């Protein structure tokens, strides 16, 4: 079935800041030129879904809602002085899509989606995505979506129990990037790599940080790239005040008041008072700036072993994107054991798992000391990803879901 598809996404602010620092002149290009330039960086899902959907005969395009110079270029070319979500609304009115997939369902949900459906009558399906910790209020806002996708089996069941229509939809790897990843001599000197977020807080990456700090105390050579947040004392104090106020209102039966005040809305769901994040001196000393897109994949490909640690909110389930990126570039994946991981990869043949910091260190050392076995696992993992976990395969699955829901 032929239809018009638009994916609306937002990129991490840190990535966009880095991108525009490196590519200052790009802002002078046309909208299409800017879009092509940023997509060539292969950040996140980039344009992988739209590219493969177009091969299936779908009329597909992308919107990056928070790439401000890009969005302003579109507005100027269409004679508009709008900004933010107003530009997105104007773009969708112009495109008249049948199906919209909102990758950032925390920014686009609730009344805005309801209004969008009124303004763009061509819309037949609005799809949401959730793969991060969320509150009861978020769940209410998600109910405007016709259905949602998630890479997290736990979230799928939780939201399904709340009455949402949910589908399991895993991340993947873009095979067309392999020729662009330059394999070089660095591969022989990086023992283990880890690239990812190190934000601490409820449902975030507290256990990941602990694991990395423990690994740094071993004699394993570990290349870590990420962003250590620098929390301002004033911001922490405001969060603590919000937490105390929200809990006080709850204790006197006024939770509904908190939910109507923007500064307290999120604090209602916090289970502990916010604290400034602490990181060991070892981690602060060795960490290198975050890497994104094709540059990240190149460094992953240079590691003998690629480490993966799921976020705290993942619970007993595997499903983050790094599973497919590490295996896809041909590095040997060493990841935390999860009860559904065997559904994605064959354990000990395609990937290696651990259940504790000690086991992680032990297996990392064994893999480094046994290059033949390590390479066999890496090649098997890559073969599995290229067979079952590519974005080309995911696009076929997405197309089937969309046709099923017409």
Our measurement of the distance from residue 87's CA atom to the centroid of its chain's CA atoms, rounded to an integer in Å, reads 24
Sheet of strand 352-354, all strands in order from the earlier edge strand to the far edge: 222-225, 190-195, 303-308, 332-336, 352-354
Could you give the CA distance from residue 122 to residue 97 in angstroms, rounded to a whole number?
6
N- to C-terminal Cα distance for the chain? 9
Q: How many CA atoms lie within 13 A of 214 on its CB side?
A: 14
The CATH number of the structural domain formed by 175-229+277-388 is: 3.40.50.2000
222-259 pLDDT tens trace: 999 998 876 555 565 566 666 667 667 667 666 665 66
**Residue 267: predicted pLDDT:** 66
- Structural contact between residues 173 and 389, judged by C-beta atoms closer than 8 angstroms: yes
The CATH number of the structural domain formed by 4-172+391-404 is: 3.40.50
Residue with tokens 């990240």: 296
What SS3 string covers the chain? Answer: CCCEEEEEECCCHHHHHHHHHHCHHHHHCCHHHHHHHHHCCCCCCCCHHHHHHHHCCCEEEEEECCCHHHHHHHHHHCCCCCCCHHHHHHHHHHHCCCEEEECCCCCCCHHHHHHHHHHCCCCCEEEEECCCCCCHHHHHHHCCCCEEEECCHHHHHHHHHCCCCEEECCCCECHHHHHHCCCCHHHHCEEEEEECCCCCCCCCCHHHHHHHHHHCCCCCCEEEECCCCCCCHHHHHHHHHHHHHHHHHHHCCCHHHHHCCHHHHCHHHCCCCCCCCCCCHHHHHHCECCCCHHHHHHHHHHEEEEEECCCHHHCCCCCCCHHHHHHHCCCEEEEECCCCHHHCCCECCCEEEECCHHHHHHHHHHHHHCHHHHHHHHHHHHHHHHHHCEHHHHHHHHHHHHHHCC
Nearest to 128 by CA among 148, 112, 111: 148
CB atoms under 10 Å from CB of 363, counted, come to 16
Q: Do domains 4-172+391-404 and 175-229+277-388 have the same CATH topology?
A: yes
143-192 pLDDT tens trace: 999 999 999 999 999 999 999 999 999 999 999 999 998 655 455 568 99
**Residue 229: predicted pLDDT:** 73
Pairing state between β 59-64 and 4-9:
parallel
**Residue 275: predicted pLDDT:** 62
**Residue 288: predicted pLDDT:** 95
pTM: 0.89
User: Which bin fits 58, alpha (ψ -120 to 50), beta or left (φ > 0)?
Assistant: beta
Pairing state between β 147-150 and 166-168:
parallel
Contacts for 119 with CB less than 8 Å, ≥ 6 apart = 89, 92, 93
Contacts for 364 with CB less than 8 Å, ≥ 6 apart = 191, 192, 215, 218, 220, 305, 307, 334
Could you give the CA distance from residue 62 to residue 100 in angstroms, rounded to a whole number?
10
- In the chain, where the domains are located: 4-172+391-404, 175-229+277-388, 233-269
Could you give the CA distance from residue 71 to residue 31 in angstroms, rounded to a whole number?
8
- Structural contact between residues 190 and 221, judged by C-beta atoms closer than 8 angstroms: yes
* Token output for 67: 């790439």
**Residue 368: predicted pLDDT:** 96
**Residue 126: predicted pLDDT:** 99
Q: Dihedral sign for Cα 75, 76, 77, 79, please.
A: positive
Low-confidence ranges of the chain (pLDDT < 70): 182-189, 230-244, 246-247, 249-250, 252-260, 263-272, 274-276
**Residue 130: predicted pLDDT:** 97
Could you give the CA distance from residue 175 to residue 118 in angstroms, rounded to a whole number?
39
């Amino acid at each position: 079935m032929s239809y018009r598809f638009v994916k609306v996404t937002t990129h991490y602010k840190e990535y966009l800041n880095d991108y525009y620092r490196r590519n200052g002149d790009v802002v002078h290009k046309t909208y299409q030129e800017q879009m092509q330039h940023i997509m060539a960086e292969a950040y996140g899902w980039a344009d992988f879904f739209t590219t493969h959907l177009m091969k299936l005969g779908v009329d597909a395009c992308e919107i990056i809602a928070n790439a401000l110079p890009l969005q302003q270029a579109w507005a100027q070319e269409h004679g508009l002085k709008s900004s933010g979500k107003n530009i997105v609304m104007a773009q969708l009115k112009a495109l008249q899509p049948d199906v919209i997939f909102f990758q950032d369902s925390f920014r686009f949900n609730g009344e805005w989606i309801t209004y969008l459906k009124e303004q763009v009558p061509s819309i037949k399906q609005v799809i949401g995505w959730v793969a991060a910790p969320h509150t009861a209020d978020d769940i209410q806002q998600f109910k405007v979506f016709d259905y949602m996708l998630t890479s997290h089996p736990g979230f799928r069941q939780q939201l399904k129990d709340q009455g949402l229509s949910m589908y399991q939809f895993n991340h993947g790897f873009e095979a067309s990037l392999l020729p662009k990843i330059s394999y070089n001599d660095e591969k022989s000197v990086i023992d283990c790599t880890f690239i990812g977020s190190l934000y601490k807080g409820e449902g975030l990456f507290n256990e990941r940080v602990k694991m990395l700090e423990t690994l740094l105390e071993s004699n394993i050579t570990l290349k870590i790239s990420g962003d250590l947040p620098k929390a301002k004392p004033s911001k922490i104090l405001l969060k603590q005040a919000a937490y105390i106020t929200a809990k006080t209102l709850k204790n006197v039966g006024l939770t509904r008041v908190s939910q109507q005040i923007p500064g307290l809305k999120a604090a209602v769901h916090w289970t502990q008072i916010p604290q400034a994040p602490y990181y060991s001196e070892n981690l602060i000393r060795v960490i290198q700036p975050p890497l994104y897109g094709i540059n990240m994949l190149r460094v992953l490909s240079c590691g003998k072993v690629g480490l993966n640690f799921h976020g705290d909110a993942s619970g007993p389930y595997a499903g983050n994107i790094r599973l497919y990126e590490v295996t896809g570039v041909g590095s040997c994946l060493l990841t935390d054991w999860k009860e559904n991981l065997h559904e994605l990869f064959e354990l000990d043949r395609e990937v290696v798992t651990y259940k504790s910091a000690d086991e992680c260190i032990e297996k990392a050392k064994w893999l480094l000391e046994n290059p033949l076995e390590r390479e066999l696992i890496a090649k098997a993992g890559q073969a599995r990803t290229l067979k079952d976990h590519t974005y080309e395969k995911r696009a076929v699955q997405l197309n089937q879901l969309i046709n099923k829901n017409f």
